[in-house]
Amino acid sequence: MSKKFDFVIRTWSAWAPGFNNQGHRQNQQDMQTEKAGLPAHVPKALQRRLSPLARAVFNATDLCIGNVATPIVLSSAHGEVNKSLEMLKAMQRGEEISPTAFSLSVHNAISGLFSIAHNNHQEITVLAPGQDGISMVFLEALGILHERRNNTDDVLIVLYDEPLSDFYPSLSIGLKAPTSCALAIKIALSGQGLPLQLQRSPEHRHDSGEHALQIFAFLEFLTSENTTLQLGNHRQSWIWHKQ
C-alpha cells in the first residue's frame, strides 16, 4: 500500500456558477451567464487587469485568505491560453501585440496580480498538471507543509480553469470545463477543520476528465456526504478520504 498523507482542510471557498461561496447548489440555469464581480479591495489600477477568470480566483480566495499571508500553490490546466490564441490571431493579421495582453497571458499572471493586490511575498507556485489533474497541487502543498518551508502552518491551494477555445482539439480525456470556476482551499497538517487523507492507488482510471471537471468533482465531494473521491487519468489514480 502506498504512503498515506494526512491533512486538514481549514477552510474553503468556491466561485463557480451553479454554486454559492460555500458550495451549495444554485439553479443550474445560472451556470452560463453568471460572471464574477470585481473584488472591492483591489486597487483600481489593478482592477482593470482582472479578467473574468482572475475575478473568479479573487472571489474564491477572498473568504479563505485571512489576515496572515501564506504560501500559495495554484493549479490550472490551461490558465488563460485563450489570450495567447487571440495574440497569435492578431500577429496573423499583421498587428502588433499589446504588451498588457502579453503580460496577462502567461500561466502565472493571475498569481502575480494576486501577490500585488494582497502584498503577499510568500512562496507562490503555479502548476499546469496536465493529465495528472488536481492531485498534483495537493502533493506540492503537502510538500511545503512537510518541509516547513517559510515556517508556515497553512498553505492556500487555488484551483481554477475556464472553457478552452474550440480552436484547440479535445484531448482523449476530453470533457472540457463547462464554465469558469475557482476553488480555494486552505490546508494544514493538523488542527481544526475537515480531516482528510490522500493516497495513491495503483488502479488506472480513465473517467475523471480534465482538471476543470476534477475541480467540480472535488467541490461535489466537499459538499456531499460522500466519504471517498477517486480521480485519475490513464496513469495511477489518487484517493481522498474524509476521516
Partner 1 sequence: MENELKQLIIDALDLEDISVADIDSHAPLFNDGLGLDSIDALELGLAIRKKYNVKIDAEKADVVKIFSSVSTLAEYIQAERS
Binding site for partner 1 (CB under 8 A): 43-45, 48, 96, 98-100, 103
Q: Which is nearer to partner 1, 92 or 151 (CB)?
A: 92
Please say whether the beta carbons of 29 and 82 come within 8 A: no
Nearest distance, CB of residue 104 and partner 1, angstroms? 9
Nearest distance, CB of residue 41 and partner 1, angstroms? 16
Nearest distance, CB of residue 230 and partner 1, angstroms? 43
Q: Which is nearer to partner 1, 1 or 45 (CB)?
A: 45
Q: Which is nearer to partner 1, 98 or 122 (CB)?
A: 98
Of residues 129, 124, 153, the one with CA closest to residue 7: 153
- CB neighbourhood size of 234 (10 A): 13
Nearest distance, CB of residue 45 and partner 1, angstroms? 5
Q: Which is nearer to partner 1, 96 or 166 (CB)?
A: 96
Q: Which is nearer to partner 1, 29 or 100 (CB)?
A: 100
Nearest distance, CB of residue 181 and partner 1, angstroms? 25
Q: Which residues contact residue 107 at a Cβ distance below 8 angstroms, ignoring those fewer than 6 apart?
A: 76, 79, 126, 128
Q: Which residue spans within the chain are E strands per DSSP?
A: 4-15, 72-75, 124-127, 154-161, 181-188, 194-201, 228-232, 237-242
Q: Which residues contact residue 19 at a Cβ distance below 8 angstroms, ignoring those fewer than 6 apart?
A: 25, 26, 219, 223
